[in-house]
Amino acid sequence: SKQLKMVQAWIEIHKDELLADWELAVSGEEPFRIAPLQ
């Protein structure tokens, strides 16, 4: 579906940010804000 492709593209673009946020969240820190899917 088109929506799935958009989400996958968004994840690809923000992969490094998402990984950094995951590390913060796991360690109990406040994650960064990531620009939402437009």
Task: Write down the pLDDT at residue 10.
Answer: 93
pLDDT (0 to 100) of residue 37: 73
**What pLDDT, on a 0 to 100 scale, did the predictor assign at position 2?**
96
* Three-state DSSP class for residue 2: helix
What residue segments make up the domains of the chain, in order of their start? 1-37
User: 9 — phi, psi (to 5°)?
Assistant: -65, -40
User: 7's torsion region: left (phi>0), alpha (psi -120 to 50) or beta?
Assistant: alpha
Residue type, 23: E
What would the pLDDT profile of 1-38 be if each residue is shown by its tens digit? 999 999 999 999 999 999 998 898 899 888 778 777 77
Longest alpha-carbon distance in the chain: 35
pLDDT of residue 36: 77
End-to-end alpha carbon distance in the chain? 17
Distance CA 13, CA 29 (A): 23
